[in-house]
């Protein structure tokens, strides 16, 4: 019951990686909003596979068809539903263990949801390509987020992201890329750390307790497969500082209240303070690797080895960047819609 | 609109630190459940202030009065509302800047929600003692969580937590305590890192996307003031490993599927895998410190200095431990209730 | 999980008729709103028992204590919780069947929730005085509604109600009152029909499908015990007309679009059209009557007779009037808050 | 934000009458459920237009395509999305006022949502064919309801409906049909009253306040266009009886508790009592009629006449029958899923 994000903006992501389509149904987009479809496609292409030697060679056009909610190119009031047809699904990659003898659903891939999906769905899950656990499900998330980014831009808010670490090293884009290619060559994978920044966020968004921006961003970001950690502002390092070191002094700056530093990451008490919103996300190394791994056969209840074939990303970080921006934009738009509702009652 | 946790278990936390009462209204507790009030009080006392030289000397009995939802000591079906009266609020501590000349609401405390609450609530917030942003609001959270812990125990699930770092150092309980007292003596504060473990969690709880356990735990944990980061299993360190190093091999163990390591923290694809659930939380140093700090006067729009008096915790970590356990128990109970709904339809 | 109204305004009603308190926790009231407590008390007194020979002689002051959410008399941002202590509960009235031999919970009262509560809560319900099914639970509803009525008045919206039928007759207030007293004298009860009108409702509130005003008003009104029917505008009678008779012609009137008649009850397509909102509610005769009735003993599984003692209303309609106004105001305020969120995005 | 039904079962209906598709995204269907597609199509065909001289001659195959949530023909865990492509939309019918001079969106049709949609969506709505207010939106409702009916049948619950009045008369099916054809011949329309019955409903479903079955059924039924009233059991007539006449006596019958009559319509205190659930719905005469009507031009702000062309139902009642069954089934399934969650905690 929780493929849905429920707030002032609400949406449900549906589909399975190797089913007929994936997509999303969205409620709450401002009526009259005219999406820039060219910009949306450009945004989605950053997430799409097959565009780089760093990613899976699965080629999906990933062009969404909007089947409802738009009239004359503008949001007309009802839910907006967008579909992406699955056109290049090679289910056979998931049917065997290399020698054709084992179906992957019987031998769960380490680090994947194969085994836990089996527990949850009692054998009825669509196991092909990870089903509804596939990283492919972030394409609909990026449709929503891409639309939100356009709306935020109209309010002067810009969300950006970058890889600050890959496989434990930081450095130039070339160094990071090298790290990925090296892992790929070894039939292995690497993870990394992404930093997200939202500039232009007005103060006053969010709230205490479950309304806090950190919690809402965290829940949305953890919906992206492979995310295992998040920290805002000084985060884990800040926990090692004194209060006198970690507190951001308030200062006047041209008639505006600012903070002289931004160790809070732009959020105090769950509410934006007008400074840039900054957080970092830990992305685990892609669990699908070429190396043979230890697993079990859940039919025969016996230990076995597993060699995964198929097309996989040696590092998900580059394609995860737009997903992080999407998740951030979704929460910020949701908070902005809430803010409208909170405007003074007269 | 989000002082509420909404799921299969739902609750709304209400109250202000220096108002007449704080409390919580809970829906969804299993009918017939007989809370052990003695155990609940013992749990709440771990969070209550005034019990140790490490915490604020504010003394609150923090004994909840259950005004609805119980009959003959058992949950009878309607919402359970529990109140804690505020008996030792010294609002005057927040009225002046030491010399009686400045009200704290005009000079926001660095690192606190004073300034952002002003932005959000446009001057109408109850600024006394942090109002609804006070750490005191975790007492109602611990009421809910304390009840959930009792229900989880009936299913063999135990949640525990411990400080693994204080002020950047790890070590014996004495060393950590010493670190806190040292900061207190200097009129400063320290933060730390808490590790939470839930043992006995059955596999199959949670789900993909927004149903994932990581995201739901994160959102609940970030509702606790001072939390700035969270990581599951190998977390940020895991992002520096190879896939072949970070994946947990599946193995058979006495007829059960286990993982030979637990770098996933017991969660794959957002779903529990039957291994202990493990995560770590970064807690920032308490922003209220005795040292004079830089701030601004938001009435006169001028820079100023601020010296905070009043009773404050030099480190919130010890009192945050039961809060973390409470937050974890809440999400796990919510997931267990969902699991009942998901049982096969016949 | 549904003692809650969840919308842009949200609240949870809690308590049992003969427990220690009843009350409500409300989220979403506009920050800065200063409730007129005198007006609220006057509104609540219309619902309170003991004020007239037409109602139960149970005397409840029903003065709410606001324990959270107000600061300096204004809504300060967090949830508003109001309590009413139960001071005049005579549980013994429900303990026996007149001769002291039967507990009412074993012999369900016809037309009451006694039997169905037993089914739902498996014997754990607070059976005293109807527990959470008591008409007394409309007092918290009237607290919320009374606050909403004040907010609506600030926008020029007025909600009124009147009994248009009692026990099958219409006529003067005296005639209706006579009808009630006659039933009372006979140890019996009567029901009636209430008409509710909301004037000044702006056009554009509501929406299609589940957002429709009719459905939202219906769900809220059916939360009031004893309601068994609702019709908007021409309602059931309208179903007997031709389209050419039932359609309301649009006309210009002083530069405004109006309808020449109001058979729609002010709602087209689930959305207010700017005309007065009008609906009627069927209220069943109070099930608690003095006459001996047929029932069963659910312990011995045998037919038995039941004679109800205790204080009961011979007709609930007079006290239900403010409840209807409260329910209507709640939905309209919720729709107005939504409308703010829908304002053009620029 | 309320094209969604949110409960233990949740779904969002999307699409516009003359857009590219309509459909629904559903969460919460039991995993492993294998829909009988043949039975579903048969159910949908009862609602589809063009099948009878009593209905619009618009011909829509209305065959849903399931694009997600099914694997090997069974519900596999993720949201189920079904699409119906719009294949026979003649938008031109809505473009002119017969002489080609007036677009319908400038001259709202009396009794329709044209004018109120304009108010709500500020001119951005898809006005073609009623857009998201079209009766066509009940097709996705019937997809959900059709699936729910199959699940209910597995538990021995059967929902049926019949027209008890058409245009003010009751009588044989032939008499009712005659009444419709007569109105059609006159370029007019008629409404009617539908009675719905659910047999086999177990006791204990529903709850007090907003959890009550009456309110939940009412809200779902009012989502169907043209519904203007609903009454349960004795309903409005019951409000004219004495309590001694309207109360249903409890009796033992073969070891089971039953009621000797069913004036409550099977619901006491919002909870099913094990007797058949019975309610009646008032359906207004179709607002689209051939006769010339009075309206206004909202551009020129002048009175005008309107003659509607296009294909319309002279009476919506026959096609509304499956919609009523669908709405009822949805609420009952939702309540059954809730009941599973409420099972004793051990």
3-state secondary structure chain B: CCCEEECCCEEEEEECCCCCEEEEEEECCCCCCCCCHHHHHHHHHHHCCCCCCCCCCCCCCCCCEEEECEECCEECCCCEEEEEECCCCCHHHHCCCCCCCCCHHHCCCCCCCHHHHHHHHCCCCCCHHHHHHCHHHHHHHHHHHHHHHHHHHCCCCEEEEEEEEECCECCCHHHHHHHHHHHHHCCCCECEEEEEEEECCCCCCECCHHHCHHHHHHHHHCCCCCEEEEEECCHHHHCCCEHHHHCCCEEEECCEEEECCCCCCCEECCEECCCCEEEEEEECCCCCCCCCEEEEECCCCEEEEECCCCCCCCCCHHHHHHHHHHHHHHHHHHHHHHHHHCCCCC
**Residue A312's pLDDT band (cuts 50, 70, 90):** confident
All residues of chain C having their beta carbon less than 8 Å from the beta carbon of residue B10 are 1, 4
- Name all chains with 3 or more CB-CB pairs below 8 Å to chain A: B, C, D
* Per-residue model confidence (pLDDT) at position A61: 63
Longest dimension (CA), chain C: 72
All residues of chain C having their beta carbon less than 8 Å from the beta carbon of residue A78 are 208
The separation between the first and the last C-alpha atoms of chain B, rounded to the nearest angstrom, is 38
Q: Do C32 and B124 touch (CB under 8 A)?
A: yes
**Across residues A139-162, what is the average pLDDT?**
98
Nearest to D345 among B30, B77, B78 (CB): B30
State which residue of chain C sits closest to D111, comparing Cα positions: C247
pLDDT averaged over every residue in chain D: 92
Report whether C317 contacts C163 (CB < 8 A).
Answer: yes
Share of chain D above pLDDT 90, in %: 85
Give the residues across from A268 on adjacent strands: A271
Q: Which of D73, D157, D139, D134 is nearest to D331 (CA)?
A: D157
| Tokens (6 digits) for D128 | 């073609």
pLDDT digits (tens, 9 = 90+) for A41-58: 999 999 988 777 777 666
Calculate the CA C184 to chain-centre distance.
Answer: 22
Q: What is the residue whose two structure tokens read 């919506």?
A: D316
- Per the model's pLDDT, the better-predicted residue between D51 and A34 turns out to be A34
Q: Do D346 and B33 touch (CB under 8 A)?
A: no
Q: Is the pLDDT of residue A158 over 70?
A: yes
Report whether C22 contacts C74 (CB < 8 A).
Answer: no
- Name all chains with 3 or more CB-CB pairs below 8 Å to chain D: A, B, C
CA distance C89 to A330: 50
**Across residues D292-321, what is the average pLDDT?**
93
* Per-residue model confidence (pLDDT) at position D94: 53
Q: Do B345 and D208 touch (CB under 8 A)?
A: no
* Per-residue model confidence (pLDDT) at position A182: 96
Give ipTM to 2 decimals: 0.95
Report whether B68 contacts C14 (CB < 8 A).
Answer: yes
* Per-residue model confidence (pLDDT) at position C94: 53
**Across residues A213-228, what is the average pLDDT?**
98
CA distance C165 to C190: 10
Q: Do D231 and C282 touch (CB under 8 A)?
A: yes
CA distance D103 to D99: 10
Q: Do A81 and D4 touch (CB under 8 A)?
A: no
**Across residues A315-336, what is the average pLDDT?**
98
CA distance B221 to B161: 13
Exposure letters A244-275 (e unless 16+ CB within 10 A, then b): bebbbbbebeeeebbbebbbbbbbbbbbbbbb
Q: Do C191 and D240 touch (CB under 8 A)?
A: yes
Report whether A229 contacts B230 (CB < 8 A).
Answer: yes
**Across residues A113-138, what is the average pLDDT?**
93
* Per-residue model confidence (pLDDT) at position D102: 43
| Tokens (6 digits) for B111 | 């690192």
pTM across the whole model: 0.96
Report whether B246 contacts B234 (CB < 8 A).
Answer: yes
**Residue B46's pLDDT band (cuts 50, 70, 90):** very high
Give the residues across from B306 on adjacent strands: B293
- Which of A174-188, C55-69, D31-45 shows the lowest per-residue confidence on average (mean pLDDT)? C55-69
Q: Is the pLDDT of residue A95 over 70?
A: no
Q: Which of D302, D189, D286, D111 is nearest to C259 (CA)?
A: D111
CA distance D166 to C240: 7
CATH of D4-340, one of 3.40.1350.10, 3.60.150.10, 3.30.70.20, 1.20.1250.20: 3.60.150.10
* Per-residue model confidence (pLDDT) at position B148: 98
State which residue of chain A sits closest to C154, comparing Cα positions: A346
Q: Which of D24, D2, D13 is nearest to A28 (CA)?
A: D2
CA distance A43 to chain D (A): 24
CA distance B249 to A242: 40
Share of chain A above pLDDT 90, in %: 84
pLDDT digits (tens, 9 = 90+) for B86-96: 986 555 555 54
* Per-residue model confidence (pLDDT) at position A346: 76
* Per-residue model confidence (pLDDT) at position C99: 40
* Per-residue model confidence (pLDDT) at position D2: 72
Helices (H), C207-311: 213-221, 235-238, 243-246
Which residues touch B22 (CB under 8 Å, ≥6 apart)?
A: B13, B14, B15, B16, B83, B84, B86, B136, B137, B139, B140, C68
CA distance B108 to B112: 7
pLDDT averaged over every residue in chain B: 92
Nearest to D340 among B32, B207, B343 (CB): B343
Which residues touch B130 (CB under 8 Å, ≥6 apart)?
A: B17, B112, B113, B114, B136
**Across residues D13-38, what is the average pLDDT?**
96
Give me the helix-helix angle, A317-341 and A37-47, nearest 10°.
Answer: 140
**Residue D100's pLDDT band (cuts 50, 70, 90):** very low
Report whether B246 contacts A38 (CB < 8 A).
Answer: no
* Per-residue model confidence (pLDDT) at position D284: 98
Q: Where are the domains of chain C?
A: 4-340
* Per-residue model confidence (pLDDT) at position A97: 39
SS3 A297: strand
Nearest to B125 among C27, C77, C79 (CB): C77
Q: What are phi and psi of C315, to 5 degrees?
A: -155, 125
Q: Is the pLDDT of residue D50 over 90?
A: no
State which residue of chain D sits closest to A8, comparing Cα positions: D1
Q: Do A30 and C78 touch (CB under 8 A)?
A: no
**Residue A100's pLDDT band (cuts 50, 70, 90):** very low
Give the residues across from D192 on adjacent strands: D166, D283
**Across residues D28-41, what is the average pLDDT?**
97
* Per-residue model confidence (pLDDT) at position A57: 62
Nearest to A269 among B133, B242, B288 (CB): B133
Report whether D39 contacts D47 (CB < 8 A).
Answer: no
CA distance B264 to B278: 8
Enumerate chain D positions whose Cβ falls within 8 A of a Cβ in B.
8, 30-33, 77-78, 151, 154, 207-208, 337-338, 340-346
Tally of CB atoms within 10 A around A318: 22
CA distance D25 to A67: 13
- Which of A97-101, B258-262, C59-63 shows the lowest per-residue confidence on average (mean pLDDT)? A97-101
CA distance C340 to C216: 18
Nearest to B76 among C6, C67, C131 (CB): C131
CA R_g for chain B: 21
* Per-residue model confidence (pLDDT) at position B96: 43
Dihedral sign of CA atoms A330, A336, A342, A345 in order:
negative
State which residue of chain D sits closest to B334, comparing Cα positions: D341
Q: Which of A226, A228, A202 is nearest to A213 (CA)?
A: A202
To test the contact with chain D by mutation, choose from C129, C224, C238, C250 the residue with the greatest count of D C-beta atoms within 10 A, namely C250
State which residue of chain C sits closest to A156, comparing Cα positions: C346
pLDDT digits (tens, 9 = 90+) for A257-286: 999 999 999 999 999 999 999 999 999 999
pLDDT averaged over every residue in chain A: 92
* Per-residue model confidence (pLDDT) at position B311: 72
Q: Which of D149, D30, D157 is nearest to B343 (CA)?
A: D30
**Across residues A144-162, what is the average pLDDT?**
98
- Per the model's pLDDT, the better-predicted residue between C246 and D87 turns out to be C246
CA distance D346 to chain B (A): 7
Q: Do D78 and A132 touch (CB under 8 A)?
A: yes
pLDDT digits (tens, 9 = 90+) for B273-283: 999 999 999 99
Share of chain A above pLDDT 70, in %: 92
- Which of A155-164, D59-68, D98-107, D332-341 shows the lowest per-residue confidence on average (mean pLDDT)? D98-107
| Tokens (6 digits) for B20 | 């007449």
Q: Do D341 and B340 touch (CB under 8 A)?
A: yes
Nearest to B68 among C22, C28, C71 (CB): C22
Q: Do B78 and C15 touch (CB under 8 A)?
A: yes
Q: Is the pLDDT of residue D297 over 90?
A: yes
| Dihedral class, residue C73 (left if φ above 0, else alpha if ψ from -120 to 50, else beta) | left
Q: Which of A147, A136, A116, A114 is nearest to A330 (CA)?
A: A147
To test the contact with chain B by mutation, choose from A1, A6, A22, A116 the residue with the greatest count of B C-beta atoms within 10 A, namely A116
Question: Which stretches in chain C have pLDDT values below 70?
Answer: 1, 56-61, 88-104
Q: What are phi and psi of C263, to 5 degrees?
A: -75, -15
Tally of CB atoms within 10 A around C171: 12
CA distance B339 to B318: 33
Q: Is the pLDDT of residue A88 over 70?
A: no
Report whether A1 contacts D28 (CB < 8 A).
Answer: yes
């Amino acid at each position: 019951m929780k493929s849905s994000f429920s707030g002032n903006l609400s949406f449900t992501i549906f589909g399975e990686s190797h089913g007929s389509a994936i997509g999303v149904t969205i409620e709450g987009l401002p009526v009259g909003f005219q999406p820039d479809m060219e910009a949306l496609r450009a945004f989605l292409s950053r997430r799409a596979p097959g565009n780089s030697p760093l990613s899976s060679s699965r080629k999906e056009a990933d062009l969404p068809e909007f089947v409802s909610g738009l009239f004359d190119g503008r949001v007309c009031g009802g839910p907006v539903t967008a579909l992406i047809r699955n056109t290049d699904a090679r289910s056979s990659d998931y049917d065997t263990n290399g020698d054709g003898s084992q179906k992957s659903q019987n031998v769960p891939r380490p680090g994947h949801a194969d085994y836990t999906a089996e527990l949850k769905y009692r054998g009825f899950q669509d196991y092909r390509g990870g089903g509804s656990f596939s990283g492919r499900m972030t394409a609909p998330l990026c449709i929503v987020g891409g639309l939100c980014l356009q709306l935020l831009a109209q309010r002067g808010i810009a969300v950006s992201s970058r890889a600050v670490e890959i496989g434990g090293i930081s450095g130039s884009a070339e160094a990071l890329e090298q790290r990925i290619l090296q892992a790929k060559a070894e039939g292995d994978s690497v993870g990394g750390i992404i930093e997200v920044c939202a500039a232009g966020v007005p103060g006053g968004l969010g709230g205490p307790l479950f309304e806090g921006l950190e919690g809402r961003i965290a829940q949305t970001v953890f919906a992206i497969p492979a995310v295992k950690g998040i920290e805002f502002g000084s985060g884990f390092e800040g926990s090692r500082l004194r209060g006198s070191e970690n507190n951001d002094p308030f200062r006047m700056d041209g008639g505006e209240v600012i903070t002289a530093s931004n160790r809070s990451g732009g959020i105090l008490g769950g509410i934006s303070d007008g400074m840039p919103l900054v957080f970092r996300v830990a992305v685990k190394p892609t669990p699908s690797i070429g190396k043979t791994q230890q697993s079990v056969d859940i039919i025969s209840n016996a230990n076995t080895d597993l060699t995964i074939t198929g097309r996989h990303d040696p590092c998900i970080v580059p394609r995860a960047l737009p997903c992080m921006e999407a998740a951030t934009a979704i929460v910020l738009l949701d908070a902005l819609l809430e803010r409208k509702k909170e405007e003074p009652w007269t």
